[in-house]
Amino acid sequence: MSSPFQYAPAPESRSIVDIAPSYGLFIDGEFVDGTGEAFKTVNPATEEVLTEVSAGSAADVDRAVAAARRAFTRTWGPMRPADRGKYLFRIARLLQERAREFAVLESLDNGKPIRESRDVDIPLAAAHFFYHAGWADKLDFAGLGPNPRPLGVAGQVIPWNFPMLMLAWKVAPALATGNTVVLKPAETTPLTALLFAEICQQADLPPGVVNIVTGAGDTGRAVVEHGDVDKVAFTGSTEVGKSIARAVAGTRKSLTLELGGKAANIVFDDAPIDQAVEGIVQGIFFNQGHVCCAGSRLLVQENIHDEVIASLQRRIGTLRVGDPLDKNTDIGAINSAEQLARIRELSDYGEAEGANRWQPACDLPDRGYWFPPTVFTDVSPAHRIAREEVFGPVLSVLTFRTPDEAVAKANNSTYGLSAGIWTEKGSRILKIADQLRAGVVWANTFNKFDPTSPFGGYKQSGYGREGGRHGLTGYLKGVTHS
């Protein structure tokens, strides 16, 4: 149905960002040329090349780790905790001041809608710095033991789905606990991390406390395997996570892994249906489904299946897919050609295995990487789309008849990162949440994040927690785990 109310284009201006023709690495407080081969980063919505970025070689990583070690021993480590807190507060405020610049750059490099980078990614990133700034001088009172001490140099590798937010999740707790960092942003989304390097300069952060080394898998491996790194923190695919676990095994390094997921979003027949439908949409189409905790398996009680699917399809019909910089866009571009190919492959499998594919009528731009919001019904737990992480806007719908069956099906996954429960019955929420093997369980909401709340997984979704008091322990030694 075409509406007489057509929203005119409302593009956010990109003139606020100033992208240099090429970028080096950020080591010891300065931008330096990398010795590896430079690579290009593109705008996935248009395939336009945005800029060229240095790839860090093993030698570059070595310099970065040495700078981080120096800073740990000479400045950041010995610094009064309250002063470390001041730097973090300063960074948080600068992030807020330059929020629009970060949001536009994030949408350009990643393809996510400006509404999300503006209202979610960047405000949450700033919130993480504010939150951890507060902890910096209170670690003795965090209930983690009498004398928590930093580990030293943290090597951190982050994904492309929330580039700036994942940076904040990694850098803020590491610095608040007195560690220094060498961070490798994802190959396809390095730009906000490099802008963050400017923030570090602007905040007068001592050289070497934060080092940013761009590059692909080899650079990441060099960071993870470096002998003078005390802590490895990784967010990304389970496959890479496993290889990191192997590489770190037998060393003195401590490790935090935040990997994939195949979350069950469970809708009971006494759920607030309209809000549940919103939650399903938010659960799987937020950030094009490039979310490790995405609610990619909808478990809906069989007696309301048809009603929920009809409402869901009507609602998906109103989603606005297109220009990420348009303020009214709900779904932006898939981050890379590689990811698009994977989404297509798994969706084709879904159809071949007998599930029913449904997509709304929607015009996709001619250039760039795009995939329409997709719902598979008649999915069986044996189908690949019910078991493997698609990491795209693809929802698999399964049904259940009783609460026990819902729990059994929800837990029947090699992952265990997140889950959702939709019911108006409070006692049921508590009971089911207790039975679900997932690190985060949302009740009557989905994909809500807060720096005070620990985030992390069970099973192949990884180990360790980020955020909250729990998240501090991953960067401290001498702590008592409660």
Beta carbon nearer to other proteins, 161 or 329: 329
CA distance 5 to 3: 5
Q: How far apart are alpha carbons 326 and 335 in whole angstroms?
A: 17
Q: Is 141 in the site for other proteins (CB under 8 A)?
A: no
Using alpha carbons, select from 347, 273, 346 the residue that is nearest to residue 307. 273
Q: Minimum distance from CB of 405 to other proteins (Å)?
A: 22
Compute the least distance from the CB of residue 163 to other proteins, in Å. 22
Binders in 436-455 for other proteins, by CB under 8 A: 444-445
Q: Which stretch binds other proteins (CB under 8 A): 42-50, 272-280, 351-359, 381-389?
A: 272-280
Q: Which two tokens stand for residue 5?
A: 């109310």
Classify each residue of 316-335 as buried b or exposed e, where b means 16 or more C-beta atoms within 10 Å of its C-beta.
Answer: beebebbbbbbeebbbbbbb
Between helix 191-202 and helix 99-110 the angle, nearest 10°, is 160
Q: Which is nearer to other proteins, 225 or 278 (CB)?
A: 278
CB of 462 to other proteins, least distance (A): 28
87 touches 130 (CB < 8 A)? no
Q: From residue 299, give the alpha-carbon distance in Å to each of 63, 309, 352, 354.
A: 50, 11, 21, 18
Catalytic residue chosen out of the listed positions 12, 106, 116, 258: 258
Q: State the Cα–Cα distance between residues 144 and 51, nearest whole angstrom.
A: 44
Stretch that binds other proteins, among 264-272, 293-301, 366-374, 385-393 (CB under 8 A): 264-272
* 292 annotated active-site: yes
Judged by CB under 8 A, does residue 270 bind other proteins?
Answer: yes
From 18-26, 57-65, 274-282, 340-348, span contacting other proteins (CB under 8 A): 274-282
Nearer to other proteins, 83 or 307 (CB): 307
Among 90, 115, 231, 262, binds other proteins (CB under 8 A): 115
| Active-site residue, selected from the candidate residues 187, 292, 293, 389 | 292
Q: Which of 35, 275, 412, 414 binds other proteins (CB under 8 A)?
A: 275
Q: Is 250 exposed, middle or buried (0-12, 13-18, 19+ CB in 10 A)?
A: exposed
Which residue, 82 or 310, is less far from other proteins as judged by CB? 310
Q: Pick one of 4, 21, 143, 227: the residue that binds other proteins (CB under 8 A).
A: 4
Q: Which is nearer to other proteins, 3 or 482 (CB)?
A: 3
Using CB under 8 A, which of 3, 13, 15, 482 touches other proteins? 3
Site string for other proteins, 411-430 (x = CB under 8 A): -------------x------
Q: Is 35 in the site for other proteins (CB under 8 A)?
A: no
CB closer to other proteins out of 208 and 295: 295
Residue 258 is a catalytic residue: yes
Distance of alpha carbon 224 from alpha carbon 339, whole angstroms: 24
User: Smallest gap, in angstroms, from Cβ of residue 433 to other proteins?
Assistant: 16
Going by C-alpha positions, the residue among 383, 458, 465 that lies closest to residue 414 is 458
**Which of 22, 147, 318, 380 forms a contact with other proteins (CB under 8 A)?**
318
- The minimum distance between CB 118 and other proteins, in angstroms, equals 9
321 to 318, 369, 380, 478: CA distances (angstroms):
9, 12, 29, 50
| Of positions 6, 15, 427, 482, contacts other proteins by CB under 8 A | 6
Handedness of CA 350, 356, 360, 364 (dihedral sign): positive
Of 3-11, 227-235, 242-250, 253-261, which part binds other proteins (CB under 8 A)?
3-11
> Considering only 6-14, 127-135, 368-376, 449-457, which stretch makes contact with other proteins by CB under 8 A?
6-14
Q: Which is nearer to other proteins, 204 or 307 (CB)?
A: 307
Give me the least distance between CB of 12 and other proteins, in Å please. Answer: 9
Say how many residues make up the chain: 482
Q: Does 271 bind other proteins (CB under 8 A)?
A: yes
Candidates 218, 278, 353, 378; binder of other proteins (CB under 8 A) is 278
Q: Which stretch binds other proteins (CB under 8 A): 75-83, 155-163, 275-283, 368-376?
A: 275-283
The count of chain residues that interact with other proteins, using the rule CB under 8 A, is 26
Residue (28 or 121) nearer to other proteins, CB: 121
> Is 10 one of the binding residues for other proteins (CB under 8 A)?
yes
Asked if 237 touches other proteins (CB under 8 A), the answer is no
Contact indicator for 145, 466 with CB cutoff of 8 Å: no
* Active-site residue list: 258, 292
Please give the residue ranges that form the binding site for other proteins (CB under 8 A). Answer: 1-10, 115, 119, 270-275, 278-279, 318, 327-328, 424, 444-445
